[in-house]
Structure 1
Amino acid sequence: MGELIVIRHGQTKWSLSGQHAGRTDVALTEAGEAAASALAPRLAHRRLVAVFSSPLSRAMRTAELAGLTGAKPDTDLLEWDYGGYEGLTAEQIREARSGWDLWRDGVVPGDADHPGEELAQVAARTDAVLDRIRPLLSEGDVAVVAHGHLARVLTVRWLGLDASASRLLGHPHPGTLSFLATKTGNPSSLLGTSRRARPPPHI
């Protein structure tokens, strides 16, 4: 069986500031482009049978710079729709909603472009992605380029856990790799990390 390689897109201005970027199409920073390019040699030896990406430019550009040519846009890999919290930091949200936690409390509706999603809806999208990818893993590795919260939900669903268990995982750093595999018949994971300073845990 191949491995499912989950790549978080490179750094953006919003990931740097801790703003929630769901459907807003925020471009990579120079540092984000450099981190994406640095992934190319780590992926070059992989026998990839398919590559899928969130259609947002920060993900598609990461795929391009990482040498993942022919990445297919997949709307199920879009980040959580944060609704009325789009563009806000956790600190700003908690000023109006004391003690707010995304995994427990969710989001509020926004405008027509950001109606918001419940965690169960995000999980349903990741389940659909996994249903399409699992058969491909018998042929080799599959890569997906996506977003931080989406990657956490995808990971726990791969492990067969409820989506709420995503809160127990560390947040993957921008421009890093995570690996989802099957070992001794059981699903396993290694969530992407970096030696650089950690971003705020909410982004």
Structure 2
Amino acid sequence: MIEAADAHDFPKLWLVRHGETVWSKNHQYTGLTDLELTEDGVQQAVAAGRKLSGVKFSSVLTSPLKRARRTAELAGFPDAEVVPYAHEWDYGDYEGQRSVDIRKKDPSYLIWTHGVVRGETLQQVSDRADHVIAKVLDTPDAALFSGSQQNSPSLRQRNVLLVAHGHFLRVLAARWLQLEPIEGRRFVLETAAVCNLGWDKKTPAVTGWNI
């Protein structure tokens, strides 16, 4: 019989949002548009690496988009594994737009409740986030929140780092906590911020945010 793992034995998922780009600086929706970091973004990425310098990672993952891959490289992880499904929300027709401008036409607009036109749904973003969590926990997606993953022999203590994007990481944080993806709206995430998702006893928890 496999005994349930102690919380200290569970994997911890570290998150880094990519450094600043011109569009993120201007608060434009930046989904699949493949932008470079600004000079400030480069410095932010280097600073994030310093914050992570004392952590030993068993694996480092990154979005396929170059702003994330470059952030990983500058933070000291040039060999990060590219995870194709860890990209940012596909904003469709809202790509490059600002929410403040969209609200001039519809004052009630919020991306979390209204979604985007001809892009991904929030549920599709959530499904991709679940895939990442399943990869980190080394368990099938269907077992993520059933409790059965806590009895898995593959569930062992390790630190995993993911470098990705604002909306995607906010949804992922909500899903780690076993919340609906819309609750990602409660997690404000700065550029190049370092965060940590871990456990309180055997309950998934946020153990560090915007570090």
Common fold: TM-score over 0.5: yes
Cα distance change of structure 1 residues 139 and 29 upon mapping to structure 2, 3 Å threshold? same
In the alignment, what sits opposite 1:149?
167
In the alignment, what sits opposite 1:13?
22
Does the residue aligned with 1:98 lie in a helix, a strand or coil?
Answer: coil
1:123 counterpart (123, 126, 139)? 126
- Superposed CA RMSD in Å reads 1.5
Report the CA distance between 1:69 and its aligned residue: 2.9
The one-letter code of the counterpart of 2:171 is: V
Report the CA distance between 1:74 and its aligned residue: 1.0
> Does residue 185 of the first structure (1) align with residue 205 of the second (2)?
no
2:90 counterpart (81, 86, 89)? 81
CA distance in 2, matches of 1:30, 1:186: 39
2:52 counterpart (30, 40, 43)? 43
Cα distance change of structure 1 residues 193 and 126 upon mapping to structure 2, 3 Å threshold? same
Q: Say whether the 8 Å CA contact 1:3–1:137 is kept in structure 2.
A: no
Does the residue aligned with 1:76 lie in a helix, a strand or coil?
Answer: coil
Aligned residues: 187
Per the normalisation by structure 2, the TM-score is 0.84
Report sequence identity in percent.
Answer: 38
Q: Structure 1: state its 5+ residue gaps.
A: 110-115, 195-203
Larger Rg: 2
In the alignment, what sits opposite 2:76?
67
Write out the 4+ residue segments of structure 1 that deviate beyond 3 Å after TM superposition: none
Q: Structure 2: state its 5+ residue gaps.
A: 1-9, 139-153
CA distance in 1, matches of 2:24, 2:68: 13
Show CA shifts across 1:147-166 (max 9, x none): 00001100010000111111
